[in-house]
Structure 1
């Protein structure tokens, strides 16, 4: 059992944006490839780590597709959740919302049931073994035709009673606006699933507006380019739309030129609530501790990031109140000092 997150020196953490396929460290990825008879672009940990030096966002997507196909069985998906929960708990995580992309797996012959039951069983085991609450939010890929997107929404609705709380929209934003996917998100909404699309990562404010207006976004994953439109920033603040911000990811994919130029500080100064997340930690060489150290250097306080996480979480009210009480019981001054003492990669 890992250290209780509530007593972690840097305080409890909530992570609302982590792609579970992107949490798998190279050694585990290689083991899965051997186990499932799949090939990878490299047969060594060092080779995979070198592959993770991304030229830009499109290159990242190419590598993500090339590497994550090795996950094929219910046991694989369960393992992914449990192992990341252990890693995140070591940094103080108490609540996670994990993203996964079922369409890619199904197209390679994996049964839908194996994917959803594997992740859902992993969420149960994560709570039992590591004390981390995990909810699940599958992604629709923006490159899909609308008919396939609706199919993904339908799969998600079928498993809504197994810890599925929302549905997202991921993949390359350029040339793939959110509006065409409105039918899929309407189907999901009818099943009680919240909309948590990616937007405003590599495309501009129009992507964020489309996610809000066409998809009914409950939160925005990334959303950092909203800063380019003051009226949109005011709307996000007024409507209390939480942005899931991932600074190291934005740096690695060249979405921002440097951490010093990251919009997190400007968005927060304008009153926009921002949670903090790793996105794809194994692929971006980051973790929750590193992200919080980066955020601290950008002026973000852990207590505010945690509060945004509580506000944005797609959980039941009993769980939200438990998270809120945990935050109120935390010595945030001591936690802030511990975060500032941490290192940034």
Structure 2
């Protein structure tokens, strides 16, 4: 009888110990892990083993036993599902939450912003300044880059990338960001082109994109955008030169020093819309959504001229006489269209 009683007591003790141990393990799994700093950046490279990943987490600043962390990864049955990438481990994260984040691939995302009105050269420079991106396009020519992202042969890159903020996982290729921006512009350009009126004096989506890029560079205030577009559309209908400074400046390239001279306006180049009628051969910048919409749906006005008022807005005129009076008032002989 004493033997049986001892055996029962022993089983009870083991059961209690198991319950206590299970409670302790559960408490550890759901309790926040101390951190050496407020946020820990954990970089997991491809091919790292679960044991190495646990050690990496501790090295990054989590104050936890790497052995316990590894045992948790292993015991969960999900250790082989952990994904490589960059992770921000916020203060208060538990071992349970950490594993979920690593298995879900809930990575820290970096961002790069493409600004309306930027040239492709400016966008490439911005990508090169993004340390979290792999510079796979750095040694590529524009033509090689366009081929790498899947653009049709001969596609010029200017204007072909939609200005937006693009999030990406650290270590991503810059080509992936470029491909997304190109595809975004293709979708928006085709959508805008499908909404064009039949009498719009543009032959194809490429010309719409070029016109939208000029509208982008010439607009000081959003509310003027459709009127600016209307001036250029009206001029195209009449066969008048567009006479827009931003195209001339674009044609000058990096050599432009900020001072547009009379000789620049008189020097004939493919982008000089004072010496040549019609649109320039390519866009001159990356237009945003509003400029695309304005170019395809310009205001119902007969205006052929506009001049900056000096406050970001423009004064629009239908006749040259009215325009000259506006120039005298707002610019006193300054450059005008």
Q: Same fold (TM over 0.5)?
A: no
Q: Name the structure where helix makes up a greater proportion of residues.
A: 1
TM-score normalised by length of structure 1: 0.26
Q: Which has the larger radius of gyration?
A: 2
TM-score normalised by length of structure 2: 0.26
